[in-house]
Structure 1
């Protein structure tokens, strides 16, 4: 993967306003990114048809520096235990990036780069970079987490809300994937540590795909979209009427505690996902 590490060392403009939208285009495909609203992709249109659920809390947002729920908002780094705000009681959920105004490092045409500095309530300084790259048939999102000081565990991923139906009268989306296992989910919505054969939906569950995330969404007669990532973890959520979520991420929910990826001054956390579509 092309290293996003160059992004944090670039001079950037002041923090983006919450209403700013960065627009990217490639042929008949359009994307808007909202750096002031958690650097979420607010819109993805193909031939004028919106693929993402609209609304301030929807679109597709980066999950960083953790993904999903962290049990009781606590995680350890060596002998030190940290307490995060319980923004999804009784847990901390989806990181701080989605609630942060990011900076636009550069933007133009079909590519843009955004950054934000890790700060309270996250206990370690660092820099997060997201790169958005658009073509006529794919959207690639890249993210890195860097530290220039103490090492710390972290996660990164994306939480897209895809519309269940693309048009009035259109059929519901169909989700297809072949996972090696499903993390058994406890009553607290966190993995119990037991792996089971994948169960039929509806889901709010984490799946393991050792060969990399590979999930296909099909809107019959309209569009097929594949969500791919080199990571082996994906959460699939389809319990809402309006939208479904396919969330590639670098570890399972509560992974700061159960499957930490250490960010060091020499080893940033780098990840990416590519969504590829074709018209039916």
Structure 2
């Protein structure tokens, strides 16, 4: 383990976590890499908001807060992926990381991410705590799974959603829930019984992303990778679906990736 990279191993599974961004830079099963490589890829935490916040602004009461316009004209994916996290503890199969919320986020707080690896699963958990005033927040993960593992056909996505958030021309949900439509997608889906999405690489691997949360964004518009993003609320949720974090009521979310080989 270097100062920046924490490596976990359990049987055939290997994970690398970079404290810069709290990002999983690698997930290998039997030596096969599942995540797209590169500074903006891997699997990064989205916190304290997920996806796009419309026009980089959100309101608490009568106060309007301005966020960085990092995906014009919107703010996207939070500040966690651009922050150095502290490694609290780590052993062969698990690790804990934290960082303190600060500018450009307008409220003090603390984020904790836990990574736990077994031979056939990876569990990620995140908590957002308020250390002073209460504030709205979101949390989730943005994994970039390789479309093709180099051993067979392209990945197939399998899921059943109760609804799809209608997306406007500005890529912000309109507030209408519609029947799920065929892809390609850059869309948020509702799964009130919990997120469950299966990725199948033919003759290679089946991986299921599950979470007790009811929101997931599916993004498959790029040739190299597909994204399955469990999150605590829909895009622009700071404005439309705020989850208030208080000093006695943190926001908590987790997701588990489970897999089995098909070869």
Which TM-score bucket, shorter chain as reference? over 0.9
**Corresponding position: 1:58 with 2:38:** no
Task: Find the residue that maps to 1:257 and give its secondary structure.
Answer: helix
Superposed CA deviations along residues 43-65 of structure 1, whole A, max 9, x for unmatched, are 00000000000111100000000
1:121: Cα distance to partner? 0.1
Residue 28 (1) aligns with residue 20 (2) = no
Computed over aligned residues only, the root mean square deviation of the Cα atoms, in angstroms, reads 0.9
TM-score for the superposition, normalised by structure 1: 0.92
Name the structure 2 match of 1:83.
66
CA-CA distance at 1:78 after TM superposition: 1.6
Equivalent residue in structure 2 for 1:73, among 37, 56, 81: 56
Residue 90 of structure 2: SS of its match in structure 1?
strand
Q: How does 1:1-280 map to 2 (within 5 A)?
A: 20-36=4-20, 38-167=21-150, 170-280=152-262
Q: Distance in 1 between matches of 2:172 and 2:194?
A: 22
How far apart are 1:148 and its partner, in Å? 1.8
Alignment coverage as a number of residue pairs = 261
SS at match of 2:252: strand
1: CA distance between counterparts of 2:38 and 2:241? 32
Deviation at residue 28 of structure 1 after TM alignment: 1.2
Q: Which runs of 4+ in 1 moved over 4 A?
A: none
2: distance between equivalents of 1:248 and 1:259?
15
**Structure 2: stretches of 5+ with no match in the other structure:** none
- Give the Cα–Cα distance (whole angstroms) in 2 for the partners of residues 241 and 148 of structure 1: 42
TM-score, normalised to structure 2, is: 0.98
